[in-house]
Amino acid sequence: MNAQPFATTDRIALCRECDWVMRMPPRAEGEAAHCPRCHHHVAGAAQRDMQRPLAWSLAALIMLALVFAFDFLSFSTQGIGHTMSFVDAAGALAGYDYPSLAALLMFTTVGLPGLYLLTLAYLCAIARKGPGNPFAIHLARRLRPLEPWMMSDVFIVGVLVSLIKIVTLADIRIGPSFIAFCIYAALLLRTLTLVDWISLWDRLAPLPARASTTIETGRTGASQQLVICRGCETPFHVSRRHDCPRCGRRHPHYGFDRIQLTWALLATATILYIPANIYPIMSTTSLGSTDPQTIIGGVLHLVHTGSWPIALVIFVASVVVPISKIVALGWLCLAASYGWHDDSPTQMRLYRLTEKVGRWSMIDVFVVAVLAALVRAGSLMAIEPGPAALSFAAVVVMTMVAALTFDTRRLWGDTFNADSA
C-alpha cells in the first residue's frame, strides 16, 4: 500500500522515433520527459503509486459492463419502431454478411479496450506487491501495442453523425447504454493519460545492472549498436539473440527495409480506395424504393439537406484524411529513402499528425453500422451496408499499419543500418 519512491538517479533513454540516446533525470510526480532532439514523448507524467490508474481502469470497466445492460438507441417512424442494443450494431453487420466488419467494430470499441483495462488493473495490483511475476511481465510487454486500435471515442462521433443524418426522418431516443458508453470512453481516455509505463516497469521488473558507461549520450543508438525494446522500452546492446535483458522480449531483426513494407501497405490501401469510392457504402430503402449511396454521394446528400457541418465532417474523415495520409506517408518514404533531411523536425511533426488522425477515418464505417442496426422498419425504411464499407475499413486499417511500420529514424541525417536495427 505504501507509495514507492521514484528513481533517484539518472537513467539512459533511447528515443524510439529519432534513435537519440539521452540521459533522463529523475522525474517529480506529474513530470513528463521529451526527447531533446525530436520532442517525442519519452515518458508520461510520473505517478508515485499505481492506485490512480487502478481506480480509473476499474471505473471504466464498470461503465463498460453497463453498456451491455440497457438499450442503446431507439428509432420510430409512422408508428413503427425499433430499439437496438450496443451488440446489435455488430449483429447487423454480421447479418448482412459482413462478419469481418462486425468483428472490427467489437474489437476496436469494447473488445480491445476491455482487455486493456482488465490487464492494466491486474498489472497495477500486482505491481504493488513487488517485482518477480513472470506472467505480469509477459502481459505488460504486449499491452501498449493495443492503444492505437482502441476507438471508443471515434465510435461516439460516429453515433452522433448517424443521429443527425436521420433525426429529420424519425424520432430518435438515446438509451442509458449510450450514456454509459460515453462515460466509459471518457474514463478510458483518462486512464490512458495516467499510466506511467516507466514507473510501472520499475515495479514489475527493475532495470538490470549494466555498465552504462559504455553508452554515450548525444549520439544515435545505431552508431553504438544500441536498440530499444518494443515491450518495456529498455535500451540494450544488440546481441546474437536480440533478447531484452529486462522483459525477455525478442527484438525484431529486420532482414528487409521497413520503408519497402510501408510502400507495399500504401499501394494496397490506394488500390482498395478505388472500390471504396466506386461502390455504395450503404443503401437506404424508403417506401419500397432503394437508394444506394457512395461516400461522395452521402456527402452531397447531407449538403442538399442543409446538414453541411456533418457533410464536412464526413468529407474530411472519409476523403481528405485517407488521401492525405497516403500522400504524406508516401512523401515521408521518399524523404527517408533519398536522404531529404533539410527539415527533419517538420517531417516528424507531419508523421505524428498523420499517425494521430488516421483512426478517425473509421467514423463512416461506424455510421453505417449504427444506421444498419437502428433503422429497421421493413419496406417503410431500412438501411443496409454496402460493399464499399468493407473496402474503406480495409483502407483505414492498411494506412494505420503503414504508419506504425514506418521507420521514423530514417528521417534523420544519421548513418543508419536498417538491417541491424
Question: Is 124 contained in some domain?
Answer: yes
Question: Is 31 contained in some domain?
Answer: no
Question: Is 289 contained in some domain?
Answer: yes
Mean pLDDT of 205-228: 77
Above 80 in pLDDT, residue 332?
yes
This prediction has a pTM of 0.89
Per-residue model confidence (pLDDT) at position 105: 94
**pLDDT over 90, % of the chain:** 39
**Report for 125-139, 251-265, 312-326: range of highest mean pLDDT:** 312-326
Q: What is the mean pLDDT of the chain?
A: 85
Domain span at 101 = 14-22+47-411
Q: Buried (b) or exposed (e) across 382-406, using 16+ Cβ within 10 A?
A: bbbbbebbbbbbbbbbbbbbbbeeb
3-state secondary structure 142-172: CCHHHHHHCCHHHHHHHHHHHHHHHCCCCEE
Q: How confident is the model at residue 4 (pLDDT cuts 50, 70, 90)?
A: very low
Q: Model confidence over 17-44: pLDDT tens digits?
A: 898 999 888 888 888 899 999 888 888 8
Question: Is 126 contained in some domain?
Answer: yes
- Whose CA is closest to 96, among 396, 395, 391, 389? 389
Structural domains of the chain, count: 1
Distance, CA of 128 to CA of 2 (rounded, Å)? 8
Question: Is 35 contained in some domain?
Answer: no
Question: Is 421 contained in some domain?
Answer: no
Mean pLDDT of 304-308: 78
Which range, of 34-43, 202-211, 364-373, averages the lowest pLDDT?
Answer: 202-211
Question: Is 84 contained in some domain?
Answer: yes
Per-residue model confidence (pLDDT) at position 378: 58
Q: Which three cell numbers stand for residue 62?
A: 464498470
Q: How confident is the model at residue 217 (pLDDT cuts 50, 70, 90)?
A: confident
Q: Model confidence over 308-329: pLDDT tens digits?
A: 888 888 899 889 999 999 999 9
- Stated as kind and residue range, the H or E segment containing 285 is strand 282-286
Q: Which three cell numbers stand for residue 52?
A: 490512480
Cα–Cα distances (Å) from 77 to 162, 168, 287, 367, 385, in that order, read: 16, 10, 12, 19, 20
Per-residue model confidence (pLDDT) at position 207: 78
- Whose CA is closest to 159, among 309, 368, 313? 368
Do strands 21-24 and 11-14 pair parallel, antiparallel, or not at all (unpaired)? antiparallel
Per-residue model confidence (pLDDT) at position 1: 38
Given CA atoms 98, 322, 158, 169 in this order, what sign does their dihedral have? negative
Question: Is 157 contained in some domain?
Answer: yes
Above 80 in pLDDT, residue 364?
yes
Cα dihedral: 217, 222, 227, 233 (round 10): 50
